[in-house]
Amino acid sequence: MATSLKQLADSLGRNFGKQLVSVEIKYQEVTVVVTPENLIEVATQLKESEEFKFEQLVDLCGVDYSQFGVAEWQTNDASNAGFSRGVDVSTTTGRLQFGDELESVVDNGARFAAVYHLISYQNNCRLRLKVFAADDSFPVVPTITDVWASADWYEREAFDLFGLLFSGHPDLRRILTDYGFVGHPFRKDFPLIGNVEMRYDSVKRRVIYEPVSIEPRVLVPKVIREDHRYISDEQMIQEKEEAKGDA
C-alpha cells in the first residue's frame, strides 16, 4: 500500500471532520461511517480531491444487521441440564416459514446499511464507506450514481435484495429476482425457503404460483462461542476488573 492506513485515516479526519460519524482501522482496512445527509458531499470529495482520488467504486452492497449476534445455542454457561440443546423452531432466518415474524435486535436506524468499497488506483489504497438508513420501515439512502456510474446496478441489487431505496436513482428496478417478485429476499426476516413456488399447471395451461411445500432444513445450528484466543489484552483486563468490582 502506497500510503499508510494511519495517514489515510488522519487525513480523512482532517478533511471531513464532523461529517464523519467514525473512522476505524481494523484488519488493515479503513472503515468510515457517514450519515445519509453527508454521503454525496463526502463521496464527491473522495473522488475529486487530489489527496484521495478514489477513482472507482468497486462494490456496493446492502447489509441487514437485525439479527447480529443472535445464536441458536447458548454456550456461555452450562445449567444443571447442560448447555442449551435443541433449537427453537423459527428463531433464526434459516428456519423461518411463511408468516413467521422475526424481531430486530438492533435499534431503529441501525438495521440497514449500504456499504461502499472504494479503490484509488493512483494511491493504491482502499476505503470502506458505510451509511446507515435512518428509518427501518422505510430505509432511504441517496444515490451516488452521479459520482460513480458503476453504482447503477449495485444500487438496483441492494434495492432488490434488501429494499434499500436510493433516492434519485434513474432506474430503480428489480434486477436479480423474478419479474413480479414480492418481498426482499436477503432481509433476515425473509425465509430461506422462500414464500412461493412455481410450477406449470397442465389444466390451466400456464405457470402458477403456490405457497412453498418444502420444510426448512438447516442442519448445523448457529453458535457463537466466546473464544479467548480472539479477545484482546485490554478486554481481558477490563473483564477482570469488572469481576473484582462485583466481588
The Cα 215–Cα 32 span in angstroms is 41
- Asked if 124 is part of the footprint of other proteins (rule: CB under 8 A), the reply reads yes
Instruction: For residues 222 and 173, give the distance between their C-alpha atoms in angstroms, rounded to a whole number.
Output: 34
Q: What is the DSSP string of 18-31?
A: GGEEEEEEETTEEE
Contact status: 68 vs other proteins (CB under 8 A)? yes
- Smallest distance from other proteins to CB 247, Å: 27
Q: Rank residues 11 and 128 by Cβ distance to other proteins and give the closer one.
A: 128
Residues binding other proteins: number (CB under 8 A):
50
The rounded radius of gyration (Å) of the Cα atoms in the chain is 22
Angle between helices 39-48 and 5-16 (to 10 degrees): 130
| d(C-alpha 34, C-alpha 129), whole Å | 7
Instruction: Report whether 171 contacts 50 (CB < 8 A).
Output: no
Half-sphere exposure of 159 (CA within 13 A, CB side): 21
56 lies in the binding site for other proteins (CB under 8 A): yes
Binding mask 82-101 for other proteins (x = CB under 8 A): -----------xx-------
Minimal distance in Å, beta carbon 87 to other proteins?
Answer: 12
| Contact between 155 and other proteins per CB under 8 A | no
Nearest-10 Cα torsion for 139, 140, 143, 144: -70
Q: Residues 7 to 46: which contact other proteins by CB under 8 A?
A: 26-27, 29, 31
Stretch of residues binding other proteins (CB under 8 A), selected from 15-23, 37-45, 122-130, 202-210: 122-130
Q: How far apart are CA 212 and CA 34, in angstroms?
A: 40
- Between residue 171 and residue 230, which ones bind other proteins under the rule CB under 8 A? 174-178, 185-186, 192, 218, 220-225, 227, 229-230
Q: How far apart are the first and last CA of the chain?
A: 48
Q: How far is the CB of 56 from other proteins (least distance, A)?
A: 5
Q: Does 233 bind other proteins (CB under 8 A)?
A: no
| DSSP code, position 172 | -
Q: Which is nearer to other proteins, 14 or 229 (CB)?
A: 229
Give the shortest CB-142-to-other proteins separation in angstroms: 18
Cell numbers 434495492 correspond to 159
Q: Does 115 bind other proteins (CB under 8 A)?
A: yes
Examine residue 148 and tell whether it contacts other proteins (CB under 8 A): yes
Q: List, in sequence order, every residue forming a beta bridge with 209; answer none if it has no partner.
A: 198
Give the binding site for other proteins (CB under 8 A): 1, 26-27, 29, 31, 55-59, 61, 63-64, 67-69, 71, 93-94, 115, 117, 121, 124, 126, 128, 148-150, 152-154, 157, 174-178, 185-186, 192, 218, 220-225, 227, 229-230
